[in-house]
């Protein structure tokens, strides 16, 4: 299973390579065929924003409550890690690659 490069139209991106491209604000990864830089599109940005915002809200909530260290771990640390892992997996298997806007 490979993803299509938006520059040359060849299926050159593996799921892992696609996930490592980052979002719209990053400089992306070059295509092995044409060298054009690619990033994950708007859907990835939306999903990652929602995930991180949800994790942040959970962390803020736990911060203002007097809780035990175990609770801080389960409701503060775990959601934060989960947000990044789910975001990464989403980039691996969903969404489309787009041309990088940033130039290096």
Give the interface with Zn ion as residue ranges (CB under 5 A). Answer: 5, 7-8, 31, 33-34, 36
Q: How far is the CB of 32 from Zn ion (least distance, A)?
A: 8
Q: How far is the CB of 88 from Zn ion (least distance, A)?
A: 22
Neighbours of 103 (CB within 10 A): 6
Let me know: does 98 contact 41? Beta carbons within 8 Å: yes
Q: Indicate the residue among 14 and 54 with the shorter CB distance to Zn ion.
A: 14
Q: How far is the CB of 37 from Zn ion (least distance, A)?
A: 10
Q: Indicate the residue among 5 and 83 with the shorter CB distance to Zn ion.
A: 5
């Amino acid at each position: 299973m490979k993803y299509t490069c938006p520059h040359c139209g060849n299926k050159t991106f593996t799921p892992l390579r696609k996930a490592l491209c980052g979002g719209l604000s990053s400089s992306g990864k070059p295509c092995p065929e044409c060298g054009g830089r690619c990033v994950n599109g708007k859907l990835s940005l939306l999903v990652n924003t929602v995930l991180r915002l949800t994790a942040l809200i959970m962390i803020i909530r736990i911060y203002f409550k007097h809780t035990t260290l175990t609770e801080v771990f389960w409701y503060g640390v775990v959601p934060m890690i989960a947000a990044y892992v789910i975001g990464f997996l989403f980039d691996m298997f969903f969404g489309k690659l787009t041309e990088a806007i940033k130039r290096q």
